[in-house]
Every structure is written in structure tokens, then in C-alpha cells.
Amino acid sequence: MPVSISTTASLYDRVRRVIPPIEWPAFSDDIDAILALKRERNAVILAHNYQTPEIFHCVADIVGDSLALARKAMSVEADVIVLAGVHFMAETAKLLNPGKTVLIPDLGAGCSLADSITASDVRLMRQRYPGVPVVTYVNTSAAVKAESDICCTSGNALAVVESLGTPRVIMLPDEYLARNIAAQTKIEIIAWKGHCEVHERFTPADIRELREAHPGVTVLAHPECPPEVVAEADFAGSTAAMSDYVGRHKPARVVLMTECSMSDNVAVEHPEVDFVRPCNLCPHMKRITLPNIRAALEEGRHVVTIDPDVADRARRAVERMLAV
Ligand code: SF4
């Protein structure tokens, strides 16, 4: 059934603060087609907080950070899940929904953190630190998760590390997340040298300049930022925690030291807050577009598959995290 013009118009009302009217006609055809295809294929779209507003607010069924997507993926009734995010997120959705078809619109949507470590690197770390449990950030391949004891996200990393009851923990692969968690716990953290190419570029000088240019601005930083950046910020937390912070504190003016689309997506919900927007784009997240989501649904591509043995072991690590 075709989608009425008024449906698309009401969607535009939602995003008019962040998408100029001149850009909307370039999106509306694909949005109509995607909404119809979702019904035809019994599909849902899961979108990460770093997806652009026309995806996040206009075609997604479930939105959130990695943890929210992982959790909500488990209650999905649809036959098909389209993951508007990067490849490790699509793999996590497949791990938790082995009977469903999981599609990623662009196979090139990777992640610098996920690419920083392999399964054999994890085995080497275990040899070097025998008996020390391995906590792996969800921003990793299924093969790396399969070598781990438990996964974590930036939202639950401290709780996961402290749940293990050991004096030392190996935390892979994000060095800065590991160091930011180490600053909050007595547990010794052994880190890896992986970095997020978006968050590693923020500096303390950026924050000082922002405070000078925008007196009174509240600065929120993602824990994938270097510890010196987190130390200069007013608050550090996952994308979900940053969004909650804005909702609870309603700062007059705020800057989110994270990926660019995050501010747009949170701004839609909080028109009363002024968002200052220096940000860094994630080139991997930006590979997902309305046209390739539409093509994914039309052509059933690209199907995410995981070796069954790897999937069983990786699923255990994710499920242990979800139980914390
Ligand atoms: S923002 Fe960073 S961690 Fe997230 S997908 Fe992009 S490179 Fe990976």
C-alpha cells in the first residue's frame, strides 16, 4: 500500500529543525518506499544514534546505542532486521537473533576499533596474562567476541568489569575506554591500543576553545575520547547517557564531543536546548543511506552470516553481558 503524502509530511515536522526544507524532497521518495517495503517484507530497522536524522527519526523502528540495539534486537518479531549502523552491530543482532535474516545495507560499514584487533590477538593476550578474564567491547567482530569471557559497551563497562570479582581484567580493544574505566575502579585494567577514529581526534584544547567561545556551555564527552578530554568535560557517558543527561538537566547550551549526527538526533527531542556543534563524522556510519537501506529491503542484501561455532561462543559473551 502506498504511503500517503501526509505521512511523509508529518515525518518532516519531526525533523524540520535539523533538515532544511530544500533537502527534504531528496529524502521523501526513499522514505515512502522504505516504509512500504518494511510492511511487505515484515522487516524492522534498527538504527544507531550516529545515523543521520532522516534515517534515525523517519524510517527506524528501534534506535539507541549499541547496548540498546543489542537488547531490543532480542524482542524483535519481524522476519528481517536491517541494521542501520556498522558491521559489528549487524553481527551482534544476528548473534542474538540466529533465526532471523539480518541485513546490512553496506558491507563496507566497518569500525576502526573493530579493525584494531583479531581473534589471534586475543589468544596471545590470554597467553601473556594467564587466568585474567577478557572483557571485550561490543565494537569488535564476532570472532573476537568468541575469544572473550564477556562483552561490554561504553554504557555498562564499569559494571561488567566489577562483576567479575578478579583483581585484574584485560579490556579490549579501546585503550581510552579502558583508561577511563580504570580511573573509576580499583581493579587493574590491562588495555589494548585500539582507538575510535572519531573520538580520538578530540583534544582538551578543543574544549577550552569551546568554553571561551560559548561561555557557560555544558560539555559532554564520550568515554572513547582520550582521558584528558574526559577530564575537561562536565560529564562523560555513552550516547544513551549523554542523551539522558540533556533530558534531565536541560542545559541552556550544550556540546556533545562525539559523532556529528548525535547532536542532530538529540536536538529533535529537545528544541529548548542550544546545541553547539563541533563534531567528527564517522565515515563508516555515514556509508548507510536511505537509498542503500531501500536497496537492502528490495534485494535482500547484504545478508550477515556467522560461522555457527564462532556464533555460539560469541553469543555466550554477549549474553553474559546482558545478564549483568
Ligand atoms: S564512531 Fe568510532 S567506534 Fe563508532 S563505528 Fe565509527 S569508528 Fe567505530
pLDDT on residue 6: 52
Is 320's C-beta closer than 6 angstroms to any atom of ligand 1? no
Three-state DSSP state, 62: strand
- Among residues 150, 196, 156, 155, the alpha carbon closest in space to that of 173 is found at 196
Per-residue model confidence as pLDDT tens digits over 160-207: 999 999 999 999 999 999 999 999 999 999 999 999 999 999 999 999
pLDDT (average), residues 221-230? 97
Atom of ligand 1 nearest to the CA of 199: 2
pLDDT on residue 7: 65
Is 65's C-beta closer than 6 angstroms to any atom of ligand 1? no
Bond into 87 cis (ω within 30): no
Is 196's C-beta closer than 6 angstroms to any atom of ligand 1? yes
pLDDT on residue 72: 87
Is 112's C-beta closer than 6 angstroms to any atom of ligand 1? yes
Helix, strand, coil share (%) of the chain residues, nearest 5: 50, 15, 35
pTM metric for this prediction: 0.93
Phi-psi region of 165 (alpha: psi -120 to 50; beta: other; left: phi over 0): left
Per-residue model confidence as pLDDT tens digits over 133-154: 999 999 999 999 999 999 999 8
Atom of ligand 1 nearest to the CA of 174: 3
Q: How confident is the model at residue 2 (pLDDT cuts 50, 70, 90)?
A: very low
**Residue matched to cell numbers 560499514:** 109
pLDDT on residue 277: 86
Best residue among 154, 199, 258, 288 to mutate for probing ligand 1, ranked by most atoms within 8 Å of CB: 199
Concatenating the DSSP letter of every residue in 172-236 gives ESBHHHHHHHHTT-SSEEEE--B--TTGGG--HHHHHHHHHHSTT-EEEE-TTS-HHHHHHSSEE
pLDDT (average), residues 218-236? 97
Is 225's C-beta closer than 6 angstroms to any atom of ligand 1? no
Spatial distance between the Cα atoms of 36 and 282, rounded to a whole number of angstroms: 29
Per-residue model confidence as pLDDT tens digits over 13-67: 999 999 999 999 999 999 999 999 999 999 999 999 999 999 999 999 999 987 7
257 CA distance to ligand 1 middle (Å):
13
